Structure 1
């Protein structure tokens, strides 16, 4: 365990092992990251030499809520991936506070994905992973079969009342229809992190039975967005073990992106907007305006990938280096957006998806956007020219190219 002198007994310290990839040396460098709660300062110690690499310093962008195993943070330009808790005290304090939970927004509720995400954010649940998927019949049956997760230790079973309700099994009523309906459309899979995340999600989502959810809690997500017993809208993994398995099955194992890679435009929601809880409202605004989101995925860009993607702006806008830095400053979410039939018909079949979506995003400067297009995404969610919430394709001929960059090239 790495130690550091604590001058204030009230100064709680959490310790993490982190890895930084040194591109110049082409090797991973390992450090202990110490986070002090009394003044939100950080310290880094080289694990190999046991010497201080970074003296205790203030770094406001690093917050305790973003420190969990698997997350990536940026400190003075270095992307640090948290791989493990560095001491038992941190592990005991944060294991429950940083619990990982898997949830699936099924096809019948996909049009409400933004609203659902916003509810999660309001309940202090952080998005760790996010991806759209078309489930195969086999995947659906494996995902929803909870026979093996109906009993166990307190560490693996949620304390929510839902954990005592009948779990899904192949013998449940409507089970075949339940699986089939999930594999006939686009789903949104997420791994969320938060305090007692599984039980909190079960409380928010409600009874997995649509009819019971409506009777017990009409405000639950299944009661609000479900369409019936076989189409309840959402699925939550019932235990920690099942969450880990489901996340691996849908989010971690490489799979073909749902992108169409034709007649499309590309959007990239910046890290600052995600940290500020704006991802859900942005997604919902896009859907409510009649656009179709055909693919969503989280990305952790680095200087190389972000610089390559924004290269066309290098000699065009003075903020280019700062935009690259912002894109690397945490988790970002890329989306492929296409036109709905309604939008196509409004433009007599000659609609340009890139132009229409660019109009929705508004001018790059949020100050200008608030004046010229007050209902645009950047006017509503942007802060500055650099932190303007969302990037969108500028040129019609680049719509497919930008989508290919995220959903083809970066997948290799």
Structure 2
């Protein structure tokens, strides 16, 4: 697509002003021609930032509900102008996707497939579903003699639920899945690539937007403050891994999950996507305050967008999970990793000390505490 110098996308944002202790309404204009940005204080009608090129800011980061970092100021994108909505978000919708009880070694490949197809993952967690949930999920085939077998299969194993966003997402996801029978599915569809049979056919998709919204609420919603589908974290003999926002945006989630789950040492016992406020990241990283010069930038980056938290365990319970997992991640500096540990996660997906793909627990005694921070404290925020 060719852009003109004056082409722009307009977003309505909020920013917390610490000095005034108030929320400020801002207008952010993004110019795709040269990747430049302008910020206007809408109340005062003045430029907070004159048009300036900002290479780290990408158009795909300017999604409604995201947080963007503009010169260390965090802006929450709450809406956009009508013209921008028609141009960028025409017919954009959410759908619910359920990854069925497949081997965990396949999860990374499936997530990579989904992201390469142009879907944005905005919610994600693993769990176990009840028969009532499964009956609601498959109500469109009520009376089918295969239904009891399908219900038994999806309720007896662990699943992953996802909210996927894309133009015409409901229809697009069903097309990506392919036919119910993997033998009849079109080449390159998810079920053709990874499905075994009509029951064990990798994933499920909803038929309508109404059905998708209902299943999203049932899977990710809360009842009196308690998640309807409980988080799977055990908070025992574990370490914490957080896939950072830049790795999520760059589409590396699947590859990182695959590297962990195909390791002969580790398995992922809990997974969930979170949006973390700056105050929470400062609290989570407090141990590094005054120790690491990058502390403030680390906090800002973790709050910039969605991150994915994992509870990771060792297959051999006698191993020190925190210490062993740090070896898989590599040192904090990706450049050092690429020299000394080229197969480590940070060597492959990290860019610099701040954008180094993942956070992992440093101290053996902190593994369970860091998992609790996300799967207890953040899960109830």
What's the TM-score, normalizing by structure 2?
Answer: 0.88
Gaps of 5+ in 2: none
Question: 1:240 and 1:81 mapped to 2: Cα distance?
Answer: 27
For the pair 1:231 / 2:200, whether they are aligned, the reply is: yes
Question: 1:319 and 1:404 mapped to 2: Cα distance?
Answer: 24
104 and 72 in structure 1: CA distance in 2 versus 1, 3 angstrom threshold: farther
Query: CA deviation digits over 1:308-348, x for unaligned, max 9?
Result: 111212243332222222222222111111123xxx1xxxx
32 and 317 in structure 1: CA distance in 2 versus 1, 3 angstrom threshold: closer
What is the Cα deviation at residue 138 of structure 1?
A: 1.9
For the pair 1:199 / 2:171, whether they are aligned, the reply is: yes
Question: 2:107 and 2:372 mapped to 1: Cα distance?
Answer: 23
Question: 2:87 and 2:156 mapped to 1: Cα distance?
Answer: 42
Question: 2:27 and 2:142 mapped to 1: Cα distance?
Answer: 46
143 and 50 in structure 1: CA distance in 2 versus 1, 3 angstrom threshold: farther
CA contact (8 A) 1:103 1:189 kept: yes
Provide the residue aligned with 1:326 in structure 2. Answer: 301
Query: CA deviation digits over 1:32-87, x for unaligned, max 9?
Result: 33322222223334444555444333333332223233333222333333333322
Question: 1:62 and 1:98 mapped to 2: Cα distance?
Answer: 22
Question: Matched residue pairs, number?
Answer: 372
Provide the residue aligned with 1:171 in structure 2. Answer: 143
361 and 15 in structure 1: CA distance in 2 versus 1, 3 angstrom threshold: same
What is the Cα deviation at residue 173 of structure 1?
A: 3.7
CA contact (8 A) 1:301 1:328 kept: yes
For the pair 1:126 / 2:140, whether they are aligned, the reply is: no
Matches within 5 A, 1:9-408: 11-22=6-17, 27-87=22-82, 89-96=83-90, 98-108=92-102, 110-145=104-139, 168-207=140-179, 209=180, 211=181, 213-253=182-222, 255=227, 256-290=230-264, 291-340=266-315, 344=316, 350-408=318-376
71 and 169 in structure 1: CA distance in 2 versus 1, 3 angstrom threshold: farther
Query: CA deviation digits over 1:266-325, x for unaligned, max 9?
Result: 001111222222111000110000422111112222332112111212243332222222
Structure 2 SS opposite 1:177 = helix
Question: 2:39 and 2:213 mapped to 1: Cα distance?
Answer: 30
What's the TM-score, normalizing by structure 1?
Answer: 0.82
Gaps of 5+ in 1: 1-7, 146-167
Question: 2:337 and 2:39 mapped to 1: Cα distance?
Answer: 41
